[in-house]
Structure 1
Amino acid sequence: MSAIFESYEREFCEFSSSIHRGVDGVKTAADATTRGRHAKAIEADVAECEALVRRMDLEARSVSDPAVKTPMLNKLRDYKSELAKLKRDAREASAKAAETDARDELLNTAERGNAAGASDGGMSGQAMETTERLARTGERIKDSRRSLLETEDLGVSILQDLQGQRETIERSREALHGADDTIGRSRKILSNMSRRAQANKFAFYGVSALLFIAILTVIVHRWSR
């Protein structure tokens, strides 16, 4: 295993742990400022993970030894899947933060409106309107998050299919190289066999000529007697 690849692995694991802590921080944050800080940290860590995966990809493909390259490519596939999951968790955390911020803002607006309208008896109507607005906003956020997750799943599926097709092409290319080598060796064997056949043919013709001359000499010798 490449030492550079292993160093990229360690960094990826560190940023992955940081992203998980950030996601938990978004869920447990008590105010919008803290949620925003965690969301920005998650975004930066995801970018670092993406960069590390690209570096691991380049490092793995630069290795020529199949015994070393194949395990690296297998690990790279796992890290790509992990990156897709981290990105999905990050988007869910951001959507959750946005939903919580919107709900808090609406509640604050409702409280201010209720305080201002308490003197004219409009508290109940204002609260109902605020609740309805809050419900509509929550539904829109959920729909947006659902669409993002579906898009992410589709992207991951496409990437996995492309990865599988690329591996199939690479295996086919290696098989073609092996076939070319086999054909080359077969051509050399056939060429050697052809040369030997030619040599055997010339030897046969030579022996036949010698026999013919010997027979002719015997016949002439007998006729001369």
Structure 2
Amino acid sequence: MEQPTALFDSYEQDFQQIVASIRDKLDGDADAPSAEQKKAALRRVEMELDEADEMVSQMEIEIQGIPQSIRAQYQSRIKSAKAELARHKKASKDAHGALARADLLGRRATSPYSSENGGENDDRARLLAGTGLLEDGSRRLAESQRIALETEEQGADILRNLRGQREQIENARDTLRTADSSIDRASGTLKKMIRRMYQQRVVTAAIVVVLVLVIAIILWEKLHK
């Protein structure tokens, strides 16, 4: 029989693998030779952060089926996973900001139209563009969180339905056991009735034999007088 914590452990293992991949990408981001490669790495980090969010949601669903006696330690593991995920989300956000600032500074250094008089306006435009990128990243994170919450609610509904079905199956099993016990009692009663019927037949046959013998003796005595 599958242990109640098996799925939780499986989701936690997947979460740790995803987090390790995120960590490797964030650590290797500084060594990327080009801005495009950094952007590609950060896009992959965003997707893996969504996957890690999904794993945490699945862990929260599975913990509902874990016995109360050991649930506290698994709740602590979920709390630790959430804290670790939050750290990597912040690191990803910081990496996006650093990349946006570096991109803005690079454009300013290489732009042939930059001048002392127009530099301030260009800086403002680029900073606004960078802020827009950061806000877009924040919206994506908020959307991912919303999807994760909806998935958690759907999973909880499914779990409740499964529990209801399990209770129905257990009730049906109890009913079958009761019916089986009643059948056994009825079978025993029938066997007793059949045994008594045979006993009554034997007694009746014995009485008939005795009566026949008595009649035969009486006739014999009358015939020989």
Q: Provide TM-score, normalisation by structure 1.
A: 0.53
Check the 8 A contact 2:108/2:114 in 1, yes or no: no
In the superposition, relative to structure 1, how do residues 166 and 117 fare at CA in structure 2: closer, same or farther (>3 Å)?
same
For residues 93 and 163 of structure 1, what CA distance do their matches in structure 2 show?
32
**1:75-154, aligned counterparts within 5 Å?**
78=74, 82=78, 85=82, 89=86, 92-93=89-90, 96=93, 99-109=96-106, 111-112=108-109, 117-119=114-116, 121-154=117-150
How far has the Cα of 1:220 moved from its partner?
11
Tell me which of 151, 157, 163 is aligned to 1:155.
Answer: 151
How far has the Cα of 1:129 moved from its partner?
1.1
Identical pairs, percent:
11
How far has the Cα of 1:33 moved from its partner?
2.2
In the superposition, relative to structure 1, how do residues 86 and 173 fare at CA in structure 2: closer, same or farther (>3 Å)?
farther
Check the 8 A contact 2:100/2:130 in 1, yes or no: yes
Name 1:197's counterpart in structure 2.
193
2:193 match: secondary structure: helix
For residues 87 and 212 of structure 1, what CA distance do their matches in structure 2 show?
96
Check the 8 A contact 1:103/1:134 in 2, yes or no: yes
Check the 8 A contact 1:107/1:130 in 2, yes or no: yes
Aligned length: 191
In the superposition, relative to structure 1, how do residues 156 and 95 fare at CA in structure 2: closer, same or farther (>3 Å)?
farther
Structure 2: stretches of 5+ with no match in the other structure: 33-37
For residues 177 and 192 of structure 1, what CA distance do their matches in structure 2 show?
23
1:144 match: secondary structure: helix
Q: Which has the higher helix share?
A: 1
For residues 176 and 132 of structure 2, what CA distance do their matches in structure 1 show?
66
For residues 83 and 187 of structure 2, what CA distance do their matches in structure 1 show?
60
For residues 87 and 161 of structure 1, what CA distance do their matches in structure 2 show?
27
For residues 88 and 174 of structure 2, what CA distance do their matches in structure 1 show?
46
In the superposition, relative to structure 1, how do residues 174 and 135 fare at CA in structure 2: closer, same or farther (>3 Å)?
same
The structure with the larger Rg is 2
For residues 96 and 149 of structure 1, what CA distance do their matches in structure 2 show?
15
Name 2:165's counterpart in structure 1.
169
Q: Deviations over 1:142-194 (max 9, x none)?
A: 11110011101111222233234334434443443344344323312211211
How far has the Cα of 1:214 moved from its partner?
7.0
CA RMSD of aligned residues (A): 5.5
For residues 86 and 213 of structure 1, what CA distance do their matches in structure 2 show?
97
For residues 92 and 15 of structure 2, what CA distance do their matches in structure 1 show?
21
In the superposition, relative to structure 1, how do residues 95 and 199 fare at CA in structure 2: closer, same or farther (>3 Å)?
same
**Structure 1 stretch displaced more, 205-214 or 156-165:** 205-214
For residues 94 and 197 of structure 2, what CA distance do their matches in structure 1 show?
90
Structure 1: stretches of 5+ with no match in the other structure: 58-69
In the superposition, relative to structure 1, how do residues 17 and 140 fare at CA in structure 2: closer, same or farther (>3 Å)?
closer
Check the 8 A contact 1:43/1:90 in 2, yes or no: no
